[in-house]
Amino acid sequence: MPHSPVSEEKLIGFPARCLSLRQKLRVSKPELAHWLGVGRSYVTVLEKGRQAPSRPVFQLIEKLEAAANLKQLAMHMPQPDATTAPTEMAGLPPAAIEALDRLVQQEETSAPPAPPIEPPVIREKNAFSLRVAALREKMGVSRPKLAQRLGVSRQYVTKIENGAHASLPVIKLIEKLEAEIQNATGIAAATVHENISVAPTAPQPAPAPVVAETPAPSIPTAPAHWPPRIAPLPVLTISAARDLTAPAQAVFAATEHFPFSVSDPDAFALRLTGDAMQPQHHEGELAILYPNSVPHTGNRVIARLSNSLGGDVLFRVYSTADHGHSIVLSSLNPLYPPVTLSPEEIVWIYPVASTVRQMLQ
């Protein structure tokens, strides 16, 4: 039986999409034609818009686009979920999957090596790239660890240390980490001096009483961490999450419980609905939320909007705009445009620590 033709609405801009996909994958026309199971001339007429693709070819090109987009998005995430990637690329030719993996490896190895750090001249030059390298050396952490602390990718830290400009939120975080290191060094030096000055001396008159100065409270720069534990997480529906005002209420609004290993004492689960995050996340999947963690760029998040915006609960990818003054919630499904919100328009927003797709019913 012949396949039904692709609708005209879906074919709008298809020649440009086909050419963009080949350029993104860095493959030739013969290689793309081999993946699609067609001749080289067929790819040529598709890119020139002289012929509409058959439904099987159109669906395979859509699958290649989705896999390529997910691979590129994963390169900018602090903690990519590698367990879901094989599912998303199921059905692709092995040569196509290998090319997608090569695409990521080429991007990771294309950055030039960082220049050697010269501590004696760091403060004299006062270059931001050298400041970042010096900070990482003082903290004793690798680039991936510093990237995780900043909420960016390892490649982003590499580019900064090689002289690239950093965004304003990253600059502020670097300055805060530098202040922490400086304060910690000052406290350690004061403690050593105090221990040395305790040597016995000749008796002296008792000094006048001095009121002890209360130290200023320290502001945590990262959420507290708890040891992992297996707990029966309360599972909420989307409608129940709309009425949630505090994480502690999740246990009373739960329709079921799901045992899972978590490191957040207030963690709970939400059963997803809708197709806004397809093809990577699907209907009925469980999202494990960490209310005591701060979302970073690239994290999956669940956000409850204010009543003025309808009070919807959205599952999206988190990022910021306007130097951190606006929150951007993006969908993996191209049918849903990004949503830019102010912090006042969000009742709560929690990072998604894990997702669970296959469960025993």
Write the DSSP string, 117-158.
P-HHHHHHH--HHHHHHHHHHHHT--HHHHHHHHTS-HHHHH
Contacts of 358 (CB under 8 A, 6+ apart): none
**Mean of all residue pLDDT scores within the chain:** 76
Cα distance between residue 75 and residue 329, in whole Å:
18
pLDDT tens-place string over residues 320-351? 998 888 999 999 998 889 999 999 999 999 99
**Over 50: is that where the pLDDT of 215 sits?**
no
Residue 153, strand partner residues: none
Peptide bond before 115: cis, by omega within 30 degrees of 0?
Answer: no
Half-sphere exposure of 221 (CA within 13 A, CB side): 14
Amino acid 235: pLDDT:
93
Q: Report, as an integer, the average pLDDT of 83-96.
A: 50
Instruction: Name which residue leads in pLDDT, 163 or 118.
Output: 163
Amino acid 102: pLDDT:
61
Check for a shared fold between 14-109 and 119-183.
yes
Q: Report, as an integer, the average pLDDT of 309-325.
A: 91
**Over 50: is that where the pLDDT of 75 sits?**
no
Amino acid 350: pLDDT:
95
**Over 70: is that where the pLDDT of 7 sits?**
yes
Instruction: Identify whether the C-beta of residue 271 lies closer than 8 Å to the C-beta of residue 237.
Output: yes
**Over 60: is that where the pLDDT of 254 sits?**
yes
| Number of CB atoms found within 10 A of residue 132's CB | 23
Q: What is the pTM of this model?
A: 0.40
**Over 70: is that where the pLDDT of 89 sits?**
no
Domain ranges in the chain? 14-109, 119-183, 229-356
Instruction: Name which residue leads in pLDDT, 49 or 211.
Output: 49
Cα distance between residue 207 and residue 139, in whole Å:
40
Amino acid 101: pLDDT:
61
Instruction: Name which residue leads in pLDDT, 56 or 194.
Output: 56
**Over 80: is that where the pLDDT of 94 sits?**
no
Alpha helices, DSSP H only, in the chain? 14-25, 29-36, 40-47, 55-74, 85-88, 94-109, 119-125, 128-139, 143-150, 154-161, 168-196, 238-242, 250-253
Amino acid 169: pLDDT:
79
Sign of CA dihedral 220, 221, 222, 227: negative
For residues 231, 232, 233, 235, the Cα torsion angle rounded to the nearest 10 degrees is 170
> With left for phi above 0 and alpha for psi between -120 and 50, is residue 247 left, alpha or beta?
alpha
Instruction: Tell me phi and psi for residue 17, to 5 degrees.
Output: -65, -40
Amino acid 304: pLDDT:
94
Structure tokens at 192: 């050593």
Listed residue (299, 323, 322, 302) closest to 313, CA to CA? 302
pLDDT tens-place string over residues 267-280? 999 999 989 888 89
Structure tokens at 191: 């403690």
Amino acid 182: pLDDT:
79
Amino acid 38: pLDDT:
83
Amino acid 52: pLDDT:
84
Q: Report, as an integer, the average pLDDT of 67-96.
A: 50
For domain 229-356, give the fold: Umud Fragment, subunit A (2.10.109)
Residue 327, strand partner residues: 320, 341
Amino acid 121: pLDDT:
37
Cα distance between residue 231 and residue 267, in whole Å:
9
Amino acid 98: pLDDT:
66
Amino acid 247: pLDDT:
86
Amino acid 92: pLDDT:
58
Listed residue (186, 143, 190) closest to 162, CA to CA? 143
Q: Report, as an integer, the average pLDDT of 145-162.
A: 85
pLDDT-based confidence at residue 110 (cuts at 50, 70, 90): low
Cα distance between residue 348 and residue 294, in whole Å:
11
**Over 80: is that where the pLDDT of 242 sits?**
yes
pLDDT-based confidence at residue 91 (cuts at 50, 70, 90): low
Q: Looking at the structure, give the CATH architecture of the domain made up of residues 14-109.
A: Orthogonal Bundle (1.10)
Q: What is the DSSP letter of 113?
A: P
Structure tokens at 65: 């686009």
Q: Looking at the structure, give the CATH architecture of the domain made up of residues 119-183.
A: Orthogonal Bundle (1.10)
Amino acid 122: pLDDT:
39
Cα distance between residue 14 and residue 294, in whole Å:
39
